[in-house]
Structure 1
Amino acid sequence: MTTAQEFWETFYSERDQVWSGRPNPLLVREAERLTPGSALDIGCAEGGDAVWLAARGWRVLGVDVSQVALDRALKHASDAGVEISVEQHDLAATFPEGLYHLVSAQFLHSPVELEGERNRILKRASEAVAPGGYLVIGGHGNAPSWSPHHDMHFPTNKEVLDHLRLMDNWSVITDDVVTRPIVGPEGQEETRQDNLLTLKRLF
């Protein structure tokens, strides 16, 4: 069985650049109104979100299972004239230390994910939020018809909240489903839904 690290190292090594380098709109929507502090970007990929946060004054640690992706994130930051830190983690096995004013988990989906792995990672992410800090979770709600993963189950916000089992020291700031148009490789026009949760740890 292919491990998560093997899969993602191969995924990134096959192309010089996979993602656009721009930040995820869901994170931008939520984080642009926050006061910068320390931020943890889990599954940071090539650093689009981490670099955007750093440019806004956040002290950012980006974490990913792929060293290829992390190397690109560091180069992206250097090219943009900002500093970020990175650590390589298979989040199902290890997690960075410390507490953060913002923990971001954007599109933490994987075709080699083990059952329940994402839930455990998000629970650990919630534990890394400092009092007064925020957890922003963005995830797909469905897949387009042309995707090989169109029959994959994408958790709803309610399912995510049920698995997190947060105590009463948390408040739900945003619970939203965002619909956006997408165009397929052969010009197919469809819509895709993304789920967005922003949670604040009160104390």
Structure 2
Amino acid sequence: MTNEPKPTTGEFWDGFYRERDAVWSGKPNAALVREVGMLAPGRALDLGCGEGADAIWLAERGWVVTGVDVSSVALGRAAKHALDAGVSNRITWERHDLATWEPVGDYTLVTAAFLHSPVDLPREHILLAASRAVAPGGMLLVVGHTAFPPWSQHAHDGEAPLPSADELAAALGLRPHEWTVETRETEGRTATGPEGQTAVLTDTVLTARRASD
């Protein structure tokens, strides 16, 4: 018996998207809309941007956005959606493995929504890198599950619940003299899975503003 090599992160997610005509709803994340809707636009970095809904929503409101994902299939769809929405000139799409990539430059907003993966993903390491990319006076927004959806491979593997917003803030070392945590909450929502399943999910939302120079 021979053991087949495990797919790389990029291969896994390319296959995941390729098997489905559309994975996500095409609507921006509700926490992003609520937390960012009143901010003056600047430079935004969307980590794990998928098919591009959040990045496109930001660009439509005047942000200059860099959307990063490991899947070239997802990025291809995102680029098409941005072109259809008339904001392709405001978004740069970049393919990177977030486990090994470090953002360059400072961003007014760094957002990471649902950075969870059935293949290895050092989420805390990625979010630490994300926090370093936030400009003085800028905002970090992290949205994640408290427990995995029933259709997720994680749920079937019996993995432990994910950290709360307070636990995540502590893990990221958001020191009070350097950061002001503006939102740390848990909220419920009804979600639809990739095969049309529905479930009530509980998410954590963390927003933190970096101190100005």
Same fold (TM over 0.5): yes
Q: TM-score, normalised by structure 2?
A: 0.87
Task: State the match for 1:112 in structure 2.
Answer: 119
Which residue pairs with 1:14 in the alignment? 19
Aligned mate of 1:158, from 150, 163, 166: 166
Q: CA deviation at 1:191?
A: 2.7
Change in Cα spacing, 1:146 to 1:47, as seen in structure 2 (3 Å) is closer
- The alpha carbon displacement at 1:144 in A equals 4.1
Within the candidate set 76, 94, 102, 2:109 is matched to: 102
Alpha carbons of 1:193 and 1:54: their partners in 2 closer, same or farther (altered >3 Å)?
Answer: same
- Deviation above 6 Å: which 4+ runs of structure 1? 183-189
Q: 1-side partners of 2:206 and 2:35: how far apart?
A: 9
Segments of structure 1 that go 5 or more residues without pairing to the other structure are none
Q: Which moved more, 1:81-90 or 1:175-184?
A: 175-184
The Cα RMSD (Å) is 2.1
Residue 169 of structure 1 is aligned with which of 178, 196, 199? 178
| Structure 1 position 198 matched with structure 2 position 203 | no
In the alignment, is residue 34 of structure 1 matched against residue 39 of structure 2?
yes
Amino acid paired to 1:112: V
Match of 1:181 in 2: 190
Does the 8 Å CA contact 2:44/2:107 hold for their aligned counterparts? yes
- Please identify, of 49-58 and 157-166, the stretch whose mean Cα deviation from structure 2 is larger: 157-166
Query: In the alignment, is residue 63 of structure 1 matched against residue 68 of structure 2?
Result: yes
| Equivalences, count | 201
SS at match of 1:166: coil
Q: What is the CA–CA distance in structure 1 between the aligned matches of 2:53 and 2:174, rounded to whole Å?
A: 29
User: In 2, Cα distance between the equivalents of 1:93 and 1:86?
Assistant: 17
Q: 1:190 to 1:165 in 2, by over 3 A?
A: same
d(CA) in 2 for partners of 1:128, 1:196:
19
My pick for the range that moved more, 35-44 or 88-97, is 88-97
Deviations 1:108-140 (A, max 9, x none): 1111124xx110100000000000000000001
Give the 3 Å change call, closer, same or farther, for CA 37–111 of structure 1 in structure 2. same
Contact 1:181/1:191 (8 A) holds in 2: yes
**Partner-residue secondary structure (3-state), 1:149:** helix
Supply the distance in 1 between the matched residues of 2:173 and 2:54 (Cα, whole angstroms): 27
What secondary structure does 2:115 align onto?
coil
Residue 96 of structure 1: CA displacement?
A: 3.0
Once the 2 structures are TM-superposed, how far is the Cα of residue 16 of structure 1 from its aligned partner?
2.3
CA distance in 2, matches of 1:186, 1:86: 27
Preserved contact between residue 89 and residue 95 of structure 1 (Cα < 8 Å): no
